[in-house]
Amino acid sequence: MDLDLATCLFTGLTTECLQDKHANWEECRFTTTNKQRLFAKEVITFVRCKELRVLPNPFDISDEYFKNAFRLDKWLFQDFLLVLCLRTYYRPELDNNVMPFDLRVLTMLSYLAHGHLEILKPLDAFQGYRSSMLQRCVAEVCQTIVHFLAPDYVVFPSNNDETLGIKHDFNTQYGIPHVVGVMDCFHVRLSKVAAAREQQFQCRHGNLAINVQVVCDNKYRFLNVNPRAPGSASDIYVWKHSPIYGIMKNLFVTEPAWLIADRGYKLEDILINPHRNPTTHADFRFNSLISAMLDVLDTAVIMLTSRFRCLKTILPYNHQTAANIVTACVTLHNYLLSKNSVIDEHLMSVVPKRKSLPNAKCEDIWSTGYHNREYIKKYLNARNL
């Protein structure tokens, strides 16, 4: 098996290449559709190949306890570990960490799932490791995920060709054309920051936090995450200084491309939000569709924070590591969606209703976004004829 996995690593084959493929022996030695599963079962043996000690197997617990502790079942964890090995070109002989790589990844998953590491205490595989070492594992593995997995699993379209599928899905489901994604922000709390920067990270509720901007599609998949802004930054400020702001401007040059957001944002040529003072049937209908699209984002965020409860706690890390933790959670969320892994119902929190904002004195009728909104209403009316 080591030779087979080494073939995987050195040829750069991904797990997608192994799945449901009938490859010839001469090409890559994978001849059956379930070869990926056979490889995944041997990944732990591979990452521990230089270990002289006999270490407890983390799989020597019940399937139910494993999934509750790590949010992935045993097979899915092995697949994820294989993906990490492939993407990082992991070499056991070069790994000088006293804790095996598989245990470091499980430590990280446990913290993301619960916001603490208490659930590891009864497990033999984690005995003898100091809490400080376990906390370092969380930061290190999250950083690895950000560098090697996030660019492949959290992808915002960079040209109009890449937007076609997303635009088609939104148009099919909601009847609104040219939509690239739905955007909003949420806060993740921090335990402490440098004294000189406390005011910068203090959000409107008085807590230390980072302001996380996310964009999702109609299938609860996150297209972008920007967790670098301090808590005092407004949603509009984060948006204006976000890399995707420039990307959206470039997309809009050749074809219409819009993000959907709530009324906390300003109406722009590349950003559409609800009417502030709906008066006609068309206005109310438009607002209803925008509200339905915003509900998708709300559901995606609740799925994220319900599966990875650390995002609801106060993170005991600096803001750079906290940003990596958020990105790692988003990456894992998209990875699980790609594997059709459904969140357990008992984990899913209730999606809160959005608080209605007070009506404004006037609409932004002078902006290009206003004309785009009128175009959408005419488009909706024409579709019903």
Q: What is the mean pLDDT of each run of 10 residues along the chain (385 residues)?
A: 46 46 39 49 79 81 92 90 89 89 96 95 91 95 97 94 94 94 97 92 93 97 97 95 95 93 91 89 93 95 96 96 98 95 85 68 68 90 76
Beta strands in the chain (DSSP E): 179-190, 209-216, 222-230, 258-260, 271-272, 314-315
CB-facing half-sphere around the CA of 22: CA atoms within 13 A? 0
State the residue for tokens 């502790």: 69
Burial status of residue 291 (CB atoms within 10 A of its CB: 0-12, 13-18, 19 or more): middle
Q: Quick one: tokens of 212?
A: 């996380």
Domain ranges of the chain: 2-148, 155-384
Q: Rounded to an integer, what distance in angstroms lies between the CA atom of residue 207 and that of residue 230?
A: 11
Provide φ and ψ at 60, rounded to 5°. -80, 45
Q: Rounded to an integer, what distance in angstroms lies between the CA atom of residue 106 and that of residue 57?
A: 12
- DSSP for 319-352 reads HHHHHHHHHHHHHHHHHHHHTT-PPPTTTPPPPP
Sign of CA dihedral 212, 112, 88, 73: negative
pLDDT for 358 equals: 58
pLDDT for 8 equals: 53
Count the neighbouring beta carbons within 10 Å of the beta carbon of residue 380: 17
